[in-house]
Amino acid sequence: MATTERIVTPELASSSMAPKMLRYLALVALPIGALIVFTLVGFGQVAPTTDRYNLFGQIALNGDLNWYRDFVGGRVPEIQDQELFYHNIGGSVAAARQADIVILGPSFSTYAFDRDALYKFGAKHGLKMYNMSFLGIRGGEFSLRIAERWKIRPKLWIINIDDQFIHFFSRTLDETSGPQIKSVPATQHGRLRGFINVVGQNLRWRAKEWLYGAETGGLFRNINNGDVLLDTNPRYLAIDNKEVEFDLGRECHASQETMDIARDYVRRIGGQVIFTLVPHSQACQQQARELANALDVELIVPPFTVFTTVDGGGHLDKKGAVKFSSYFFSSLLQSKAFDKIKYRSVAIDANQLVR
């Protein structure tokens, strides 16, 4: 039987080498591309003040780089601060590390602590305040991991021990802002992927603005103090909002598991701790008092009487936040935990604080 000799021509050699060359180039190009993206995002998020406009950086509020676009609603809401805090992108973690008092909790805490009240209290007592509450995350495990990972150690923690659906003292990392409950995406990948996600999100939001010729709106968050600018929601400032209807007869005992998690949480987070419970239609004071008593932690809860709400019973509006904050901070001054923290005796003028 005759054999056929294969003649390798230059054309055949080059065609057989092409796939290998492409794979080689891909192996070289991908890390370089990732490094470029990392550098661009890192520059845009970590040092935004050196460049007033950076395509890959944060979307500032009317040119004010102290604020970044954090949340855009829709069928599937997009939230940026989860990546920023968990992977320490930008200046938010650094600002939280400098704070004397840090607030933890779900979005109820975001709405309940009035921005002006925080400024005035911090200025009067020479304290740096930071609201590290998170939209869409009810459990406290996410905050604990951030505090431990990046060594956030304020003198005093204020913790809203809410129990709606998911107790703050739980081990879950669930996000509940979208149509389905899922684990917080930022906890599922490394820091480089976090940088890439942030730049992709910023580019996507900018593209929408270019396509539709208008800003996509959303909520902005302050890098320096964690405040979320809620004033963009007309209902937040409305004077005709409904009052919260409280279910004061509901029983909700704190389980032994919750107490064990809470005890471990307080031990690991360090510093002085004060518990609170922000009023809303499903907030239950019983479990909060049981937890505070079991852990010997002071609890500040206002009387659940008249509080107005932005969404029919869930989150407080501006008027409700002012009322809650007034009660909370006047009570905080009388607490043992506040007496124990050392603070500067010289008050700071409120106008000198960066908003």
Q: Please give the Cα distance from 6 to 56 (Å, whole number).
A: 53
* Average pLDDT estimate for 218-238: 94
Tens of pLDDT, residues 296-319: 999 999 999 999 999 988 899 999
pLDDT of residue 350 exceeding 70, the answer is no
Residue 3 lies in a domain: no
Q: Number of structural domains, the chain?
A: 1
Residue 4 lies in a domain: no
pLDDT of residue 136 exceeding 50, the answer is yes
User: Contact 226/158 with Cβ under 8 angstroms?
Assistant: no
At residue 215 the predicted structure's pLDDT band, cuts being 50, 70 and 90, is low
Mean predicted lDDT score pLDDT of the chain = 84
pLDDT of residue 293 exceeding 70, the answer is yes
**Higher pLDDT among residues 260 and 50, named by residue:** 260
Q: Please give the Cα distance from 322 to 217 (Å, whole number).
A: 25
User: Contact 86/186 with Cβ under 8 angstroms?
Assistant: yes
* Average pLDDT estimate for 4-16: 46
Residue 165 lies in a domain: yes
pLDDT of residue 262 exceeding 50, the answer is yes
Sign for the CA dihedral angle at 54, 60, 64, 66 comes to negative
At residue 240 the predicted structure's pLDDT band, cuts being 50, 70 and 90, is very high
Q: Please give the Cα distance from 107 to 30 (Å, whole number).
A: 38
For residue 272, list its beta bridge partners.
156
Residue 310 lies in a domain: yes
Q: Looking at residue 39, what DSSP letter applies?
A: H
Residue 15 lies in a domain: no
Residue 12 lies in a domain: no
On the CB side of 56, how many CA atoms lie within 13 Å of its CA? 18
* Host domain of residue 100: 50-338
pTM as predicted: 0.83
Q: Which residue has the tokens 């939209």?
A: 135
User: Taking the CB of residue 273, how many other CB atoms lie within 10 A of it?
Assistant: 20
Residue 18 lies in a domain: no
At residue 5 the predicted structure's pLDDT band, cuts being 50, 70 and 90, is very low
Two structure tokens written together for 241: 């909002």
Sign for the CA dihedral angle at 78, 83, 86, 89 comes to negative
Tens of pLDDT, residues 14-65: 445 555 555 545 554 554 555 455 444 444 444 343 333 455 688 999 889 9
Beta strands in the chain (DSSP E): 67-72, 78-79, 101-104, 129-131, 156-160, 174-175, 182-183, 219-222, 272-276, 299-300
| pLDDT score for 106 | 95
Q: Please give the Cα distance from 129 to 83 (Å, whole number).
A: 22
Closest CA to 255 of 298, 283, 294, 281: 294
* Average pLDDT estimate for 202-217: 78
Residue 16 lies in a domain: no
At residue 212 the predicted structure's pLDDT band, cuts being 50, 70 and 90, is confident
Q: Please give the Cα distance from 65 to 52 (Å, whole number).
A: 8
| pLDDT score for 98 | 97
